[in-house]
Chains A and B, each alone.
Chain A
């Protein structure tokens, strides 16, 4: 009885300790924000003012919006595809059920290096390389995609049923044969789902890339905001919203169908 009582007490002490730790971490983070409640209170009218200037949308630039959006989708399509193709070898080399640890270490380093570069920096880099416009944005998206898809592909590969891989290995299949017949069919549905999600996500990140002149709808958006033409910027955002919703719906349908594969 005494034993259980002490176990019970130590469990509670542990929970309190974790709670205290969490409070400390959040408090520390809040200090870093230098939050000023007074300023927050006064900010409300400014926010309302900003929003009121956005309305109503100026529909006269709808053709500009649609054209820019089409370009954004084209950028995302190519950028995601380039990134996906480059992600496959990196993912294979970083999966712990396939690759020896020293190779994995290098592949993970590549992944982390790519992931830690912000998309804006990639955009600036490629704008300086290929000039303003969609090609720079497409290449930036391609590299940006690697940081995420390589990780997601890697996790899909690592979640493959180990006994199915071991069965093939024991029967004498080569590394490539195991990849082709054992891993690829199991990873395909999940991997395609992730790629679709990335395509969708890249449409949104392409709008950010426009800020540094790497093409797409973001380019027009930022130009209108800089020129204080907020009503036109609203049109851009609304068109983007409609397209994002549409693509989300389509890719949800597709992903659901992939799951039954």
Chain B
């Protein structure tokens, strides 16, 4: 196992994400926990892709990093601070982009992006609407992501790629340092997929740590610096993005 290589070089506290012997609760459908002893370490500023077959535990791992999965055994540290189930204390630093974006389809693109600032404002502050500075920030983000024409359109009327970019803009309202992304380009055409991946690449250059679940191994190899291959809830490969198909099928046997 090469999983602890990074951990050995650097102390736990200087890592953006550190998981050690992570176990999630037993699942009767899989006859094992979704996460069955995951060890991984991600430094600040890395672009890492999580790959693996369906049911390997990629989404569960991402969700556990933001406290959405009860942890049976093991630890998670984000920037040196321990994460536990339902503790969303690190939310300013970590943001997660769910598969499909998780937008509210009846709201406009602008309103959806503004929802990204809800966590930073109290219930009273947002009861009658959003403050001007938030609106300007949201407008700026939408323009930067090339959505000038879609600002006041309902997101149910947008294309898949446009929706995904609105979801990214919403995440960026929180100015995260670590961005967790679950299958951002599933169901998108080549052009839209490239557009979305280029945004992540740009965010990475701005210093944001990115951990993305990807199914397209070519794209994974093109964009990510490192791949972590999961199989049956364990890390089976952790290293450069070379020969990924082989590592993936290796895990299967």
Contact = CB atoms under 8 A, between A and B. Distances in A.
> Which of A164, A174, A176 has the most C-beta atoms of chain B within 10 angstroms of its own C-beta?
A164
A163 B91 contact: no
Contacts of B99: 163
Contacts of A164: 102-105
A164 B174 CA distance: 16
A172 interface: yes
A43 interface: no
B69 interface: no
A165 to B, nearest CB: 8
Given A168-B115, A174-B123, A188 B106 contact: yes
Contacts, number: 74
Contacts of A169: 88
A17 B116 CA distance: 55
Interface stretch (A60-68, A78-86, A107-115, A177-185): A177-185
B123 A261 contact: no
Contacts of A180: 126-127
A166 B62 CA distance: 14
A174 B66 CA distance: 16
Contacts of A170: 66, 68, 88, 91, 95-96
Nearest to B94: A170
A189 interface: yes
Interface residues on B, range: 20 to 34
Contacts of B111: 181
Nearest to A183: B104
A173 interface: yes
B119 interface: yes
Interface string A49-84: 000000000000000000000000000000000000
Interface string B148-162: 000000000000000
Interface in B100-119: 100-107, 111, 115-116, 118-119
Contacts of B223: none
Contacts of B123: 174, 176-177
Contacts of B119: 171-173
A168 B118 contact: yes
A168 to B, nearest CB: 6
Given A171-B91, A171-B174, A182 B96 contact: no
Contacts of B120: 172
Pairs A-B, 10 closest by C-beta atoms: A172-B119, A167-B102, A173-B118, A163-B102, A185-B106, A171-B119, A177-B118, A164-B102, A176-B123, A163-B98
17 contacts: A161-B102, A161-B105, A163-B98, A163-B100, A164-B104, A166-B68, A166-B98, A168-B118, A169-B88, A171-B115, A172-B88, A172-B120, A173-B118, A174-B118, A177-B123, A182-B104, A188-B106
